[in-house]
A and B are shown apart, each in its own frame.
Chain A
Amino acid sequence: AQKVTQAQTEISVVEKEDVTLDCVYETRDTTYYLFWYKQPPSGELVFLIRRNSFDEQNEISGRYSWNFQKSTSSFNFTITASQVVDSAVYFCALSELGLYNTDKLIFGTGTRLQVFP
């Protein structure tokens, strides 16, 4: 069965600190997608990144970076120099590639990030 674990329930940091959000996944599929979404208080899930299982190259986008390691089934997310506007709940998600499109997402329970000024 597919499963996503985000062991960190809540993280609090002071502005400008770096913070890493952990994500561990389980799947028996050899092909799959991994995602990170941000959920601000408004409720809308904001897409951050999608990575397929064949691409283990780490990615950096501005202050955001992602570390994908198949050997440990982890897809961690780092925010560098955090800002108050980064405060939100962050979800890691997994979907399989198959007959249907990839939108049957399996979400973790989320990590609430609070950035204090």
Chain B
Amino acid sequence: DAGVTQSPTHLIKTRGQQVTLRCSPKSGHDTVSWYQQALGQGPQFIFQYYEEEERQRGNFPDRFSGHQFPNYSSELNVNALLLGDSALYLCASSHWTGNTEAFFGQGTRLTVV
């Protein structure tokens, strides 16, 4: 049983560009949450998707947007990249009922130069 998978593993982008990160949830999970983890910090909640809709959002600007597909996979899009967007982006999946803990992927390391 595959766990949460994220792609790509590493990414280098230039300031002002746009980026798309992808996440496939663990089998049986229907909810995907995205987190940003800056170096030396704890992860910060970006948003959460369930039934293809954004259900909760953290304190992130509109440059951060997402999407969930009918197969529960999800994308995180970041527009107009800033140097400060450089971080590890983690995807977590779970079941909407909350009866299971969140399982995390290995993350995508984004570097903005």
Contacts and interface: CB of A to CB of B under 8 A. Distances in A.
Contacts of A104: 33, 45, 48, 56, 58
B105 A103 contact: no
**Chain A interface size range:** 20 to 34
Interface of A: 4, 35, 37, 42-47, 50, 91, 93, 97, 100-110
B24 interface: no
Interface in B80-100: 88, 90, 92, 94-98
B104 interface: yes
B31 interface: yes
B55 interface: yes
B41 A43 contact: no
A44 B42 contact: no
Contacts of B104: 37, 44-47
Interface residues of B, number: 30
B106 A103 contact: no
B97 A101 contact: yes
A110 B42 CA distance: 6
A110 B38 CA distance: 12
Contact of B42 (A42, A46, A107): A107
Contacts of B44: 107
Contact of A45 (B43, B58, B97): B43
B102 A109 contact: no
Nearest to A97: B98
Contacts of A46: 104
B106 A42 contact: yes
A59 B107 CA distance: 30
Given A101-B94, A101-B98, 16 more contacts: A43-B90, A45-B43, A45-B92, A45-B104, A47-B101, A47-B104, A50-B101, A100-B48, A101-B50, A103-B31, A103-B48, A104-B48, A104-B56, A105-B35, A106-B45, A110-B41
